[in-house]
């Protein structure tokens, strides 16, 4: 680096050296943009461009609203999609625990109308009323999976399980919830494919830059 090297590159290289030497180990929260400006001078764009270089090189992870962190060297391996017919607990929480992690999730449920694709999978007409629940699953507070769930309100709407995460059966697996209605869920049918994460998915999963994901349709 020389005096003619742009400031953002000099900042990026100094941080890179600290990361690669181990002085900033994986998981370390890096200085905020304001702190970098205070240390090196320049403007917001200098700090932002320096972090973009490190993110693009795979050394740093940008977490929306939480700052920048040194990326870990291990590839996350946790993936839970078990179907536990007799379990009264969350399959995700059980599966995460079996892999040494604490599994939690965030959720949001709204009434919706089935698209043609969702209707075909549920065996109902397009436009049929459904409960749509969006999930973000976390292992040790880190997002690892996303899910979109649809259930026909004609089946669940007048029951205690209409809202999947509210009421006395909140947090249990779908098989246990449906058993409340006297329905035994059979073996699920899955369609699995690999693809690139969308920008929205990558942001929700803390993937910077976006990378490949497994997309699983379970019916």
Distance CA 188, CA 207 (A): 29
Q: What is the pLDDT of residue 57?
A: 79
**Average pLDDT of the segment spanning 80-101:** 67
pLDDT tens by residue, 93-141:
777 787 777 888 999 999 999 999 999 999 999 999 999 999 999 888 8
- Cβ burial of 31 (10 Å; 0-12, 13-18, 19+) is middle
Average pLDDT over residues 145-155: 95
The lowest-confidence range among 7-21, 65-79, 131-145, 192-206 is 65-79
Residue 162's pLDDT is what? 94
Torsion of CA 192, 197, 202, 205, to 10 degrees: 10
pLDDT, position 100 = 76
Report the share of the chain in percent with pLDDT over 90. 38
pLDDT 10s digits, 45-70: 888 899 888 888 778 888 767 788 88
**27 — pLDDT class (breaks 50, 70, 90):** confident
Q: What is the pLDDT of residues 170-191, one digit of tens each?
A: 888 888 899 999 998 888 889 9
């Amino acid at each position: 680096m020389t005096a003619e090297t742009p400031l953002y590159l000099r900042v990026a290289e100094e941080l890179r050296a600290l990361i690669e030497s181990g002085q900033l180990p994986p998981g370390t929260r890096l200085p905020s943009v304001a702190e970098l400006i205070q240390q090196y001078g320049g403007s917001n764009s200098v700090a932002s461009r320096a972090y973009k270089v490190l993110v693009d090189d795979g050394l740093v992870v940008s977490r929306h609203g939480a700052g920048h962190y040194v990326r870990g060297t291990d590839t996350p391996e946790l993936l839970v999609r078990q179907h536990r017919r007799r379990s009264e607990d969350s399959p995700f929480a059980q599966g995460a625990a079996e892999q040494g992690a604490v599994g939690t999730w965030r959720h949001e449920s709204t009434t919706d109308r089935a698209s043609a694709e969702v209707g075909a999978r549920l065996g109902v007409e397009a436009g049929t009323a459904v409960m749509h629940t969006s999930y973000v699953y976390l292992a040790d507070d880190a997002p690892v999976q996303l899910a979109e769930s649809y259930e026909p309100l004609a089946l669940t709407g007048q029951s205690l399980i209409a809202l999947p995460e509210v009421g006395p059966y909140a947090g249990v697996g779908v098989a246990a919830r449906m058993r409340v209605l006297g329905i035994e869920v059979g073996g699920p049918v899955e369609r699995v494919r690999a693809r690139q994460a969308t920008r929205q998915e990558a942001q929700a999963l803390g993937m910077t830059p976006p990378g490949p994901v497994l997309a699983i349709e379970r019916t």
